[in-house]
């Protein structure tokens, strides 16, 4: 894209004047954001349309989540315009950082959505023909606030800022039919821009609308209730990400969402192939699909249905699917390996049910093993469907893939060992270093050149500078500056002042019991009580920072949020420890918050129970920004320790094998009774230390740890003492020359953990594209 200063400002002023009647200096942030984005978009149009109409073999990446955040920063960076635009805006007295007021497109909940966004950006950067397909949620996940310490959810109206990067394509709309009603799927295409290489791929997000924009007949008959009901039924499909599925209505809505996404996407792809005169029997030579977890697996029976409607027999359609679909597993948790009740599928997708039955019969004939099934007890198992039909199945970290082979999908691996491969997750260094930590990125580029921008393995060239006094000084000063910036942002948004000399101990990730935010909370209380009674001395002041959202219907996760907020209220109001401890649970944690957190952290908390975290990508972002890991040997932590050295991180807790050996004999009550300090900490759940507003949620945490068939399933108490001791060791090391070396060793050895490497492996091993 050619950049001309005069033309840029001329176009910007023109749009502001015609659309809003204001000049650059008079424009609001919202007006300026939209106008600037449209100026950049106008320069992309010809180049981008050419990419969309390309006849090359392309990959469709199907995902329920795409956490792209605010597009303006990353797009300007990848176009090579970020510094020029920043300088030009400054000439007009405009700070580009004002765009931080623009809300993220919250189209994801955690690592799954951020990973998908990284893969799209990396594919464009390395000229891999990859397009994303997902849903354009009107209200995203939700906007999180805290009321008396409890999480409350509000609609996240991110579209109030406009969506200048999303181009509505009504000419490409598709009708989607359920058994009980039909809706219109309208695509919005967003450019995915490669880093300074002229490549533009596409993210296509579908929005659900009524077939009729307005029913005059119903209106003339004064049937307002019918109009409202029909509109609501259609639009609710893409209203929110992951609607609460604690009810059958919620489950049906999720099923509709998943079918809506894959049906619209496949119909548009088939239409494009027919438009280009390509036989559908040749589909695998022109299109392959990556199913990002089980949410899009309905694409398999839907493609068979669509091909059969075009006159292709079931056997041939099935063979096409076997060559076209691939499946990424992101979890071993049974709750996340989706299963659909047959009665629900029959109720709204009867043709899909019939095709699933055909696939089940094929599995029976081909496999002859009762342990290998697609349908059992009138339930469709989506992961099994993806494995049976898919060309390749991949895990997302070495330890995770081993668990899939040896445990979760052991029987399937026994039959199809050639299908299972590992591709460790990665992150884009453009978004998660160049953009969020520009001063540190410049220090590195000034010393080793810019090759690492697109080949992160080259960051290892910084190793000779690890003991260079000037480089170390720059690292420490920039980290302090990043901490100051984060502290100011937290004060502005949370009202809590954190001194920059504190250790910044950060845990940011989706709230789930297996991620063990509860163990972190117990450790904080242990330290607090120790400082108060004098048993902990020489403690280095620490700020414990949490960022997480719980699914709206996840009772236990929301209880843990309340508990952490009660701990924060206790500690932050205690004048005796004001110069030693702060606890902050940031509200509405999102990509923009993450950008500030990862470059300011001193400690990266990655403390899931070993064997539970598939990979993680937050650990990689922290590592790249020069942060040590305090964690278990779980997910990608294992590979981080292999790359940077286990001695340069702080590892604790039971291993996967040790966890397995403990199952059946583990007694959390014995741990409580055997350690007076731990007992004192855990007892705060029931002894009145904290107020849960009469809800009983804190007692429910206690009972979950101590009672039932499998108390403390995620072994919080088993690893708690090891966690406390290791964090104390880290606290002692902080600030030393040795600690700085550990931080820099992590940064210098982060080369493996780039999404550039990941998508290249997908392209070579799975997608078979250039």
Active site residues: 330, 509-510, 515, 617, 621
What residues contact 759, with CB distance under 8 A and at least 6 apart?
A: 119, 122, 123, 126, 128, 130
- φ/ψ of residue 514, rounded to 5: -70, -20
- Picking from 591, 619, 637, the residue whose alpha carbon sits closest to that of residue 110 is 591
The token pair at 593 is 């918050």
SS3 173: coil
- Picking from 67, 193, 130, 135, the residue whose alpha carbon sits closest to that of residue 617 is 67
Q: How many CB atoms lie within 10 A of CB 535?
A: 10
d(CA 394, CA 419): 8
Q: Specify which residues 183 forms β-bridges with.
A: 176
What residues contact 424, with CB distance under 8 A and at least 6 apart?
A: 396, 397, 398, 615, 636, 639, 752, 753, 758
Q: Taking a C-beta distance cutoff of 8 angstroms, is the pair 317, 300 a contact?
A: no
Please give the helix or strand (H or E) that residue 641 lies within, else none. helix 637-644
SS3 733: helix
The token pair at 143 is 């906007």
Q: Taking a C-beta distance cutoff of 8 angstroms, is the pair 699, 686 a contact?
A: yes
Q: Which residue has the tokens 């299109």?
A: 287
- Picking from 291, 389, 377, the residue whose alpha carbon sits closest to that of residue 339 is 377
Q: Which residue has the tokens 């000049």?
A: 23
The token pair at 610 is 């070993």
* C-alpha 144: how far from chain center: 16
Handedness of CA 554, 424, 443, 745 (dihedral sign): positive
- φ/ψ of residue 539, rounded to 5: -85, 130
Q: DSSP alpha helices (H): ranges in 236-381? A: 248-275, 283-286, 299-309, 314-324, 342-348, 350-367
Q: How many CB atoms lie within 10 A of CB 224?
A: 10
Q: Taking a C-beta distance cutoff of 8 angstroms, is the pair 614, 635 a contact?
A: yes
Strand boundaries in 95-244, DSSP class E: 130-135, 143-147, 150-154, 167-168, 174-177, 182-193, 200-209
- Picking from 215, 205, 329, the residue whose alpha carbon sits closest to that of residue 261 is 205
Q: Label the pairing between strands 143-147 and 150-154.
A: antiparallel
Q: DSSP alpha helices (H): ranges in 684-715? A: 697-706
- φ/ψ of residue 689, rounded to 5: -55, -40
d(CA 327, CA 390): 6
d(CA 470, CA 462): 13
Q: Taking a C-beta distance cutoff of 8 angstroms, is the pair 142, 14 a contact?
A: no
Q: Taking a C-beta distance cutoff of 8 angstroms, is the pair 166, 145 a contact?
A: no
Distances 386 to 115, 282, 293, 375, 750 between C-alpha atoms, Å:
20, 21, 9, 12, 32
Q: Which residue has the tokens 């260094």?
A: 429
Q: Taking a C-beta distance cutoff of 8 angstroms, is the pair 587, 494 a contact?
A: yes
Q: Taking a C-beta distance cutoff of 8 angstroms, is the pair 134, 293 a contact?
A: no
Q: Taking a C-beta distance cutoff of 8 angstroms, is the pair 719, 632 a contact?
A: yes
d(CA 296, CA 694): 41
Q: Taking a C-beta distance cutoff of 8 angstroms, is the pair 644, 620 a contact?
A: no
């Amino acid at each position: 894209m050619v950049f001309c200063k005069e033309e840029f400002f001329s176009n910007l002023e023109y749009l502001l004047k015609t659309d809003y009647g204001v000049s650059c200096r008079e424009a609001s942030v919202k007006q300026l954001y939209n106008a600037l984005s449209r100026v950049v978009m106008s320069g992309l149009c010809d180049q981008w349309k050419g990419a969309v109409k390309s006849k090359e073999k392309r990959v469709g990446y199907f995902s329920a989540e795409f956490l792209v955040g605010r597009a303006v920063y990353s797009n300007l960076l990848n176009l090579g315009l970020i510094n020029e635009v920043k300088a030009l805006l400054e000439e007009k007295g405009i700070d580009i950082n004002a765009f931080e007021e623009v809300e993220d497109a919250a189209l994801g909940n955690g690592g799954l959505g951020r990973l998908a966004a990284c893969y799209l950006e990396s594919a464009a950067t390395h000229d891999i023909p990859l397009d994303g397909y997902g849903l354009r949620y009107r209200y995203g996940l939700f906007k999180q606030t805290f009321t008396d310490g409890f999480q409350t959810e509000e609609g996240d109206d991110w579209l109030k800022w406009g969506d200048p990067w999303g181009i509505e394509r009504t000419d490409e709309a598709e009708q989607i039919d359920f058994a009980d009603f039909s809706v219109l799927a309208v695509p919005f295409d967003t450019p995915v821009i490669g880093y300074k290489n002229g490549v533009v791929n596409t993210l296509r997000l579908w929005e659900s609308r009524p077939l009729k924009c307005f029913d005059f007949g119903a209106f003339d008959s004064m049937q307002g209730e019918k109009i409202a009901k029909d509109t609501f039924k259609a639009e609710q499909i893409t209203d929110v990400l992951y609607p609460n599925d604690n009810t059958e209505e919620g489950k049906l809505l999720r099923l509709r969402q998943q079918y809506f996404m894959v049906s619209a996407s496949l119909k548009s792809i088939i239409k494009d192939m027919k438009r280009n005169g390509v036989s559908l029997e040749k589909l695998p030579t022109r299109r392959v699909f990556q199913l990002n977890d089980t949410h899009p697996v309905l694409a398999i029976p839907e493609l068979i249905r669509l091909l059969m409607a075009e006159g292709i027999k079931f056997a041939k359609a099935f063979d096409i699917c076997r060559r076209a679909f691939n499946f990424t597993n992101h979890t071993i948790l049974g709750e996340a390996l989706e299963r659909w009740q047959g009665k629900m599928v029959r109720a709204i997708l009867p043709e899909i049910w019939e095709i699933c039955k055909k696939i089940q019969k094929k599995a029976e004939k081909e496999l002859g093993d009762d342990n290998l099934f697609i349908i059992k007890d009138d339930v469709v198992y989506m992961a099994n469907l993806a494995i049976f039909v898919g060309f390749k199945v991949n895990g997302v970290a070495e330890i995770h893939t081993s668990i899939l082979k040896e445990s979760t999908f052991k029987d399937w691996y026994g039959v199809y060992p050639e299908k299972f491969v590992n591709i460790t997750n990665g992150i884009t260094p453009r978004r998660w270093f160049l953009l969020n930590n520009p001063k540190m990125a410049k220090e590195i580029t000034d010393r080793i050149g810019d090759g690492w921008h697109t080949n992160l393995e080259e960051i290892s060239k910084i190793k000779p500078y690890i003991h260079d006094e000037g480089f170390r000084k720059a690292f420490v000063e920039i980290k302090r500056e990043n901490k100051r910036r984060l502290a100011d942002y937290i004060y502005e948004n949370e009202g809590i002042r954190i001194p920059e000399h504190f250790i910044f101990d950060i845990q940011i990730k989706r709230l789930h019991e297996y991620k063990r935010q509860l163990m972190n909370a117990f450790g904080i209380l242990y330290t607090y009580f120790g400082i108060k009674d004098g048993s902990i001395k020489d403690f280095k002041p620490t700020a414990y920072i949490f960022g997480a959202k719980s699914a709206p219907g996840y009772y236990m996760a929301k209880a843990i949020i309340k508990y952490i907020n009660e701990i924060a209220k206790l500690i932050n109001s205690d004048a005796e420890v004001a110069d030693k401890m702060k606890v902050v649970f940031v509200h509405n944690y999102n990509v923009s918050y993450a950008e500030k957190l990862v470059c300011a952290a001193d400690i990266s908390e990655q403390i899931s129970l070993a064997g539970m975290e598939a990979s993680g990508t937050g650990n990689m972002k922290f590592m790249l920004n020069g942060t040590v890991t305090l964690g278990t040997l779980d997910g990608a932590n294992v590979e981080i320790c292999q790359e940077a050295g286990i001695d340069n991180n702080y590892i604790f807790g039971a291993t996967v094998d040790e966890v397995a050996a403990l199952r059946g004999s583990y007694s959390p009550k014995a741990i409580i009774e055997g350690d007076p300090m731990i007992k004192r900490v855990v007892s705060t759940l029931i002894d009145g230390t904290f107020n849960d507003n009469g809800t009983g949620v804190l007692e429910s945490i206690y009972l979950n740890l101590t009672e039932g068939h499998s108390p403390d399933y995620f072994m919080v108490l088993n690893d708690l003492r090891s966690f406390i001791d290791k964090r104390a060791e880290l606290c002692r090391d902080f600030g030393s020359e040795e600690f700085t070396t550990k931080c820099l060793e992590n940064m210098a050895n982060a080369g493996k953990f780039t999404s550039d490497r990941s998508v290249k492996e997908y392209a070579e091993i799975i997608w078979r594209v250039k």
